[in-house]
Structure 1
Amino acid sequence: MADKRDYYEVLGVGKSATDADIKKAYRKLAKQYHPDMNPGDESAEHKFKEATEAYEVLSDSSKRSKYDQFGHAAFSNGGGGAGGFDFSDVGDIFGDIFGDFFGGGGGRRRNANAPTKGASLKTSVTLNFKEAVFGVEKEIDMVISETCEECSGTGAKKGTTPETCPHCKGSGQVRYNQQTMFGNITSVKTCNNCSGTGKVIKEKCSSCRGTGYIRKRKKIAVDIPAGIDNGQSIRLSGKGEPGTNGGPRGDLLVTVYVKPHEFLERQGVDIYFTLPISFAQAALGAELEVPTLDGNVKYEIKEGTQTHTRFRLKGKGVPHIRNAKIRGDQYVTVVVDVPKKLNDKQKELLKEFSTTFGEQVKEFKDGKKKKWYDKVMDAFD
């Protein structure tokens, strides 16, 4: 027995390791050295057998107690370890780790007839800027599965009913015993005869062709909350595809796309706006009429206001999506708008004004474009 490695050393755990620690360590080694993962590698096969032997002893409280007391000598007469244990004892963990290799479908076994939630659906909706800020109810047109009225969802022809599958006796699963190099292993597969439903339909419904569902176009109302932003999604529980075996419907995920505003820019819950003002307003001060999403508001600027000065309109921004009573702010940047067309009298007055500063001016031909401020006000009106 001197050539045998310590079982705790093999699994890489201490003597105080819990059952969960031992199982976790074995899972890791089994995945790494399993022969199916390392075909033709004798070293990997040896390490796999060594780890499996260690697990078989340490995972059993009785065997572990004997091993802790007597070491490998406790099993020198074939009572486990040293090649005397039965590899079929670890079939359950093989099924957990290597379900695909042994026909178990991977992962832990579950009842094929258990209620299963339906698939989730995805769609999108486009809003204008103001709808996203203040919220709106939209109606979405969807094609979705509904219970077949002809067969009431059974999938069987009217007047008939599905029968219990004779292969799996209604369980939806069949068991197979496989003899492997590690012993006899029992695995579970989905029944091919009934596809795991446990039922067989001999005469299918002509409307749904045995599925129990038909596709229908349906209108779904979506309540868009105030403050939603471009790219965010809304989850509507129970509005997706129907579940199976009495399971709940899936969900509907609605992604929101927001059209940009012509003059306003959104950053989070704040709104940014550029307001053109005249030179006279900037120099002498003025009471401005500022467009906001709530309508026009008045704001007084001081004389000598410089271009690109920014001021804040508190609470004129976007509502917080989790608390619509709290709103962001609107930041307004004033930019001096130089007039492009002047009459003769205006030109003379400006020349006289410029001479008081000792400036030299030159006239240029101007176009007939509409003033920026007028375009802004027209858009809000």
Structure 2
Amino acid sequence: MRAIMKYRFLGNSGLQVSELGFGAGTLGGKGQIFSAWGQPDQNEANRLIKICLDAGINYFDTADVYSDGASETMLGRGLGSERKNNIISTKIGLRYASGLNETGFHRHYLKKAVEASLKRLNTDYIDVLQLHQFDSFTSLEQLMRTLNELVQSGKVRFIGVSNFSGWQLMKAQAIAEQYGYEKFVANQVYYSLIGRDYEWELMPLNDDQHIGAVIWSPLGWGRLTGRFDREHPIPASSRLHQTAQYAPPVDDEHLYRVLEVMQQINTETGYSIPQIALSWLLGRPTVSSVLVGARNEQQLRDNLLAQNCDLSTEYIEKLNQISAVSPPYPYYPYWNGQFGERFKPIVASQMG
């Protein structure tokens, strides 16, 4: 069965992106993390990208740190002449070079990093430039001014962030508002059925600021692939153990409870565990695009069929309930209803 791609606006940018995007972190295969994620050569990368293009994907996400730049290079080559018809998102700011100032968001490095990414991607502009993490050493006034200059230069079209806290993102938006600078339209976040922290602060912020969420690791760092469950725990040889120090922590018992409900839905509907996980995310508020990565063609094709998943209200409610965890202070009173009925419409409107 062929999936029919749907498109959504990226925040209030006016830019339309495919609801499933391609996460190019599997391209390159260099270093501890990325060699564990995948090691496709350029020919295999070209095949994966061609499958995405044929499926209607127009949003391709990468980062300069992915395989020391090899991911950007392979993505640029794989898109080739199709680059002009598609959206490239890349991230900068994490250290992968040894120079003293080869990191952060000060003007010297930010402009240098953009030029390097443009060269590797073999393009004249970056559609969506995202900051990979917060830099507490560079003033936000300087950062937002530099980003505004990059947009005005035509080398960057839109800007976004990744892995920012709520106050960090909101303070940056307020400075942009104050000075008339370009504002963020994308927020790349970790969000999955076994990692719902995004909902507590960043989801309401994105809704208020009209910022589109781009979801990374929607399968919970590989835990929701369908290969593991209570009877078949993650083996010692799994790549998850190679990258465990970087993965968001998940309580095993919570994971198994979620998987058991997903397995029940799988048995009753025939949808795979990854398809169920992706479909649930596509129904969540503020989500613009969910990034799918793949080590091979079969994985990618299976993930793309998530668009055909028609989960009933009953199934969605089961997933909502089994995956829910108690938020920390100060968010939990509103979720637990401790302040009465008048707060329920606020929670419902923000969280779905």
| TM-based fold match above 0.5 | no
Higher helix share: 2
TM-score range relative to shorter protein: under 0.3
TM-score by length of 2: 0.19
TM-score by length of 1: 0.18
Higher strand share: 1
